[in-house]
Each structure stands twice: as structure tokens, then as C-alpha cells.
Amino acid sequence: MVSVSYCPGNEYIKSGFVQAMCQKFYKLVSLVLLFLFAQTRLSAAVYGSICGKICDADNQQPLPFTNVFLANTTWGDAADEQGAFCIERIAPGVYQYVKFDEYGNTYPPEALQIGGFWGEHRVADMLPFDYFPEKVNAR
């Protein structure tokens, strides 16, 4: 008995071999699409970012071109003219807090949890700077 099945090309196929090849093709395409979708979702969930603005604690004026980085990592950024910075692609976890370095001054780090929260986080004990982030999000 010959089975009849439909395969791309708008014609009915009467060969068992061609039918098996079509099924393998569909499985392969499905696996590739599933893999690509999973990779996109995983890469989007793995990294976070921390963005904010550095201001002087005394007069609340922005501190332009200040270096900001996470202690004991290579992640950092330089603030722009308005004191804004953004450190991106940070893996979730607990890090030593952002250090501020203006003209060679380094301040003691504090613990920071990266990943999955949104909102304002303020550090007031890093004299002479206060940290006012604009957003923290996971990507």
C-alpha cells in the first residue's frame, strides 16, 4: 500500500522515502528555531545594567567625566557632561559596590545585588558623592 502525504511544493507525494525526508526536514527546522529562541531568551535574562547620575553631596551638582566601576571587575563607564553613566552587560550576582574615582580618589566599596529589580537605589555613605541611579534593569 502506498501512503499519500502533503509536502511543500503544493503537490501530493506518494513515496515513503520523500515523506520521511519531509518529516526529518520539519524536525530539523523545528529544532533550529527552538534553539535560536532559547538562546535569545537566555542571553536576554543573563545580563543586567546599572545606570545613574553622579552628583556632589554638598551642592547636588553633576560630576562630569567621573570614572565609575564595579570593584574587582572590568565593568565600568565614564560619566558624561551631566554626570550620567551606564554600566551594561553585568551578570546577575552580588558585587562590591560601584566605586567613584575622580582625579585619583577611590572610595570604599559596598555590597550591591545586580539582577531582577527595578527602581531607585541610593548610597549615601560614599563621601563626598551620593549615587542617584535613574534605572536599574535586567536585560
Query: What percent of the chain lies above the pLDDT cut of 90?
Result: 0
pLDDT at residue 118, rounded to an integer: 36
What's the whole-model pTM score?
0.46
**Are the C-beta atoms of residues 111 and 96 closer than 8 Å to each other?**
yes
Residue 117, pLDDT > 50, answer no
* Cα distance between residue 102 and residue 63, in whole Å: 9
Q: Name the residue with cell 553622579.
A: 54
Buried b (16+ CB within 10 A) or exposed e, 77-94: bebeeebebebeebeeee
60-116 pLDDT per residue, tens: 788 788 787 777 778 888 888 988 888 887 777 776 666 565 555 555 555 454 554
Q: Which residue did the predictor score with more confidence, 90 or 118?
A: 90
Helices (H), the chain: 16-46
